[in-house]
Amino acid sequence: MGELNFADKARMNGETVERDRLAVELCGIPLENPVIPASGTFGYGAEFAELYDINILGTFSFKGTTLEPRYGNPVPRIAECTAGMINAVGLQNPGISHVIAEELPRMKAYFHKPVMANVSGFSLEEYAETCRLLGKEEQVGWLEVNISCPNVHGGGMSFGTDPSAAAEVVRTVRKVTDKPVIVKLTPNVTDIVSIARACEEAGADGISLINTLLGMRIDLKTRKPVIKNVMGGFSGPAVFPVALRMVYQVSHAVSIPVVGMGGVSSAEDVLEMMMAGASAIEVGSQNLVDPFACKKIIEALPETMDRFGIRRLSELSAL
């Protein structure tokens, strides 16, 4: 191969500078940029990899995984609403054995960075075993532990609504893996700070928030709920101010990294989240509106940073 000419070298140097401007770190693992598609909106990345090179992403959080396969809730389980959507999919997934045997090996062909594994469970034992198995996988960089699930041994109340229950999940998972554990919190609580602090004290390496708010819609013609499950998780641009507020509160109350999410749909939203204290950002519902959303946000970040006088994201100070 011939020597690069001046134009080629200049282009490559420019790309390196842009990458350096966007580079951040999450729980000790470097990211080329802070943009991460959220679990449940990106599958295992295969469909998106057919549209563009998803290695442009910082990483992605793959479909929430439980110990056993789940078929999810009955349909209809999606409802549209102003500036967002409601879903009650119900953690539909093929189970941990399939993910390890089929999805992770397939993923190697199209994604060449550490991936974030999103884990759900309905008992401490289920969380522990799923995290233990995923923690042994080389491709998995982080375990994002979703504690918004109902505790079947605790009357059905979500692990994430009680500080002591949340801490118990973290302690249980911490015993079975050395991988960074990021706890995903539900916003459907009165004091999210106390829950985040309990997770940190129990050994969490990071916090991600917010999961979906609880919402519902009613069909005026049938006079019945649109969703078969009656209620579901409300997400989309309408929840962004709530998410931003909670990211700000939690990031100022803990010393571990915070991953901000909830209604993020633009490069400006990314900068707001980072100013509120987030180390990285997840993009959720916008992926369902526009499959190129994350790519567009990443490409828009340098110009957006220029407009607001931001040289490097790593130098961006929280409020």
- Catalytic residue numbers read 149
**Within 10 A of 48 (CB to CB), how many other CB atoms are there?**
23
d(CA 18, CA 241): 29
Q: What are phi and psi of 49, to 5 degrees?
A: -65, -20
Distance of CA 97 to the CA centre of its chain: 22
Distances (CA, A) of 56 to 37, 52, 114, 259: 11, 9, 13, 18
**Within 10 A of 137 (CB to CB), how many other CB atoms are there?**
15
The number of helices, as runs of H, and strands, as runs of E, in the chain is 11, 16
Distance of CA 70 to the CA centre of its chain: 20
Residue position matching structure tokens 């209620």: 231
Helix (H, G, I), strand (E, B) or coil at 153: coil
Does an H or E element contain 164, and which?
helix 163-174
Distances (CA, A) of 229 to 217, 233, 239: 11, 11, 21
